[in-house]
């Protein structure tokens, strides 16, 4: 299963909402609080589950210990967790290989590479944002993607 093309802020928002509701909540009540429509919310939940931050069962969402730490600890700790997780998930693993092989790649080339894996333009940019947030890659001079 490929990583859903959702924003970092959407996943963090979901985690914060569930945390504020005591660490467990009905997905029906989450929709209004997270900046996503119902179709997109399911992708946000999938992303959080793939990262080991949330468990969904029935209509309930429950934070995992990692999800709780993502909300309670400094962002830096969450970034370390993400870096370990994302390095082994697609399309991040392939993206990292691509950038490491050449030492750097043009942003447009990276976007096209990600789009070649089934993402649209917005999704490709969100994947790059995850990579930057997790400190797997960096954007240099606004035009190059380099390994972090």
pLDDT tens-digit map of 82-102: 999 999 999 999 999 999 999
Q: Reduce the DSSP state of residue 64 to 3 states and report it.
A: coil
Same domain (yes/no): 51, 94:
no
Range in 25-29, 96-100, 103-107, 140-144 the model is least confident about: 25-29
Q: Domain of 57: which CATH number?
A: 1.10.10.10
Provide the token pair at 40.
Answer: 């997109």
| Domain end marker among 20, 52, 71 | 71
The reported pLDDT for the residue numbered 142 is 86
Q: Is residue 85 part of a domain?
A: yes
DSSP state of 4: P
What is the number of structural domains in the chain?
A: 2
Domain housing 44: 8-71
pLDDT for the residue 59: 84
Closest CA to 16 of 52, 60, 69: 69
Residues 6+ apart with CB under 8 A from 58: none
Q: How many CA atoms lie within 13 A of 85 on its CB side?
A: 19
């Amino acid at each position: 299963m490929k990583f859903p093309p959702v924003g970092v802020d959407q996943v963090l928002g979901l985690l914060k909402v569930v945390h504020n509701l005591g660490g467990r909540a009905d997905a029906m009540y989450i929709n209004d609080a997270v900046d996503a429509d119902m179709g997109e919310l399911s992708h946000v939940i999938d992303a959080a589950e793939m990262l080991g931050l949330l468990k969904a069962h029935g209509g309930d969402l429950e934070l995992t210990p990692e999800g709780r730490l993502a909300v309670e600890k400094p962002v830096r700790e969450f970034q370390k967790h993400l870096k370990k997780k994302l390095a082994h998930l697609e399309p991040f693993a392939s993206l990292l290989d691509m950038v490491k092989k050449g030492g750097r790649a043009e942003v447009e080339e990276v976007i096209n590479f990600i789009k070649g894996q089934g993402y649209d333009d917005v999704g490709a940019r969100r994947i790059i944002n995850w990579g930057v947030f997790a400190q797997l890659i960096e954007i240099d001079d606004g035009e190059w993607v380099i390994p972090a």
